[in-house]
Every structure is written in structure tokens, then in C-alpha cells.
A = this chain, B = another copy of it.
Amino acid sequence: MTIPTVQPKAYVDTLATVPIFASWDAAYLLSFAEQAPVRAYQQGAIIYAPEDPTETLFLLAQGQVARYHLSADGGMVTTAKLLPGALFGDMALLGQAMHGHYAETLTDCVIYALAREDVLTWLLSDVRVVESVLRVVGERVIDLEFQLQIMALKDVPQRVAATLLFVSERQGGMLDLPCRHEDIASFINSTRATVTKVLNQLQADDMIALRRGFITLRDLDGLRIAAGE
């Protein structure tokens, strides 16, 4: 699998929209964009796998990436669908192995790949940036805790409702969510068939509207109750 490089300058605009870089001035940003290594990936490429010992921090510039875990017998949980601006591969920062942890492109992608030292040099020398990095990692912790909490404490119908609300909030309150039943199933550790049943019930209760590939939230308060608060 070849990983073509791309012209760095083309992505300055994208970088400027990333929270991490919000506090940087244009010159510094351009300097970063010119020097940081960028890679282009095709859809379905594995960006890292558990065996992979690379100490690399990735910054998604374009496209979508899924982060998931696999078990020996074929089971799978999705932990996140990443959009441009997302940082990932952050365990690289600690030299920790990532047991059963994969990242895969869902579309063609453009991704910055930063070595551990680069990260410390470029990102962590500025307190404002440090704060941003901590925010990103912290958000990751929040996500994981949410997922853990619903899987441990709620049944499938509650998990579905809670997840719809959670995703909507993460997208800035967007009510028309582009996702398939299977996406939800793999996030809440259930099955596509079960999720379909639950969604149809929620639709019958007039809390959501279903279209192929989309779910529209119609009654947030109702969903909150269905989620068990």
C-alpha cells in the first residue's frame, strides 16, 4: 500500500479551522503546515493496528476515520467516528501499546502524522496549545466514559436514545443525523436487528423520524426520558 504525500500548503485553510490551532497566528501556522509530514490515505486504509508500535500522533485534515476495537473471535466495538480537526493516535504520547485498537479510514483522507518529538516541540511549547490538547484528550475521556456508562448501566433501548442525544450534542445540536442502524449498533455494543426494532419503536412514539441513512430527532425531552435521564 502506497501512501502518497500531498502539498502541505493546500491544507493551511483546513488547519486554521482546527481548535488546536485557533490561537496561532498565520505565519506560525503556515510554517507548521509546510514542515509537518502529511499523508493521503484511500478509503478503507488501516492507519494503525495494535501491532503497530509507531509513536505517532495523527491529525485528521480531510475525510472521516473510524476508531474501533476487535476481539479474537470477530467481535467489534466502535469508539468514535472522527471528523476533520480530530487528533488521534494519542497513546503514542505515552509509548503505550494499543491492545486490539484500530483506526481505519471511512473515506479518502488527508492526515498529518506527527512524531512524538515533533509533538513536544511544535505543540507543547505554547501553554494555550497545551490547553487545547488537554481539551481534546479530555473530550476523548468523556466519550469513553459515556460509552462505558451506558453499556454498563442501561439496556439497549436506553442506550439508543442516549446515544442519539449524545451524538446530536457533539454535532453542535444537529437534529438530522447521518447514520445507519449498524453504526449505532456497533457503538452501543448491540446488533443491527435489535437497533432497528428500537428505532421503529421510537418512531412510533413520534420521538424520531427515520429515512434511509438518516435519523431525525423530533422530541428531545421524550428521548431524554427514554434514555433514563
| Cβ–Cβ contact A148 & B71, under 8 A | no
Chain A, interface size: which category?
35 or more
- The count of identical subunits is 2
Interface residues in A142-164 by Cβ distance below 8 A to B read 142, 144-149, 151-154
- Chain B residues near A140 (CB-CB < 8 A): 141
A149 to B151, CA, bound (A): 11
Output the least CB separation between A228 and chain B (Å). 5
Binds B, one of A34-42, A124-132, A210-218: A124-132
- Chain B residues near A130 (CB-CB < 8 A): 124, 130
Q: Of the candidates B69, B138, B145, B147, which one forms a contact with A93 in the assembled complex, judged by CB atoms under 8 Å apart?
A: B138
Q: Does A206 contact B (CB under 8 A)?
A: no
Interface residues in A67-87 by Cβ distance below 8 A to B read 69-73, 75-77, 79
Binds B, one of A20-28, A94-102, A197-205: A94-102
- Chain B residues near A127 (CB-CB < 8 A): 120, 124-125
Output the least CB separation between A164 and chain B (Å). 15
Residue of B nearest to A123 (CB): B130
Contact A75 to B144, CB < 8 A, known contacts A124-B130, A135-B94, A138-B137: no
Q: Of the candidates B98, B101, B138, B144, which one forms a contact with A94 in the assembled complex, judged by CB atoms under 8 Å apart?
A: B138
Query: Would you give 7 A-B contacts (Cβ < 8 Å), ordered by A?
Result: A71-B154, A72-B228, A77-B149, A93-B134, A96-B139, A147-B148, A148-B148
Q: A69-B153, A90-B138, A144-B148 are in contact. List 16 more A-B contacts (CB 8 A).
A: A69-B145, A71-B154, A77-B148, A77-B153, A79-B145, A93-B131, A93-B138, A94-B142, A99-B145, A120-B127, A134-B134, A140-B141, A144-B144, A144-B145, A151-B189, A152-B189
A residues apposed to B, CB below 8 Å: 69-73, 75-77, 79, 90-91, 93-94, 96, 98-101, 120, 124-125, 127, 130-131, 133-135, 137-142, 144-149, 151-154, 189, 228-229
